[in-house]
Amino acid sequence: MFANTPKSSNSNRILDIYNPNREYLSDNDDMVNVGELNAEQRQEIAQLREEVTTAHMRTATFEERAIHKDTRSEELQSLLNEYKEKMKNLLNERNESQLLRSEEGYGYRIQARDVQIQQLKRHIRNNLSAGAVLFSLAIVLLSKN
């Protein structure tokens, strides 16, 4: 393990390893000295470094896309929630409006029935008064006989 000092930290070590502009020199005895590599090996190492750099760039691109997709997804979710709230409010308003119209309809029906009841009462009074007159006339005629 590396000591976590300013000269040799893990992050600095990683940066040194992935630096494409620097020859790789290791203090590890198992590693090959760069001076001992032939041209073909150097070319292969350079190609591998390019592939690593390309892979890092692609990873960064994918991460950036993922961030944008997450952001867009959050925006769309927020927009969807706004539309749901608006629809809920519109449905509530429509239901209230229908309820008011329904209540108005019942009110009109009640008024119409009240008018009918008043007409029936007048009709009954008229018929009763005519009946009372006839009944009174019959009593008068019977009492004269």
pTM, full prediction: 0.37
Three-state SS for 21-88 is CCCCCCCCCCCCCHHHCCHHHHHHHHHHHHHHHHHHHHHHHHHHHHHHHHHHHHHHHHHHHHHHHHHH
Compute the distance between CA of residue 122 and CA of residue 126 in angstroms, rounded to an integer: 6
**pLDDT value at 63 more than 50:** yes
Q: pLDDT digits over 88-122, tens only?
A: 998 888 888 888 777 777 778 888 888 888 888 88
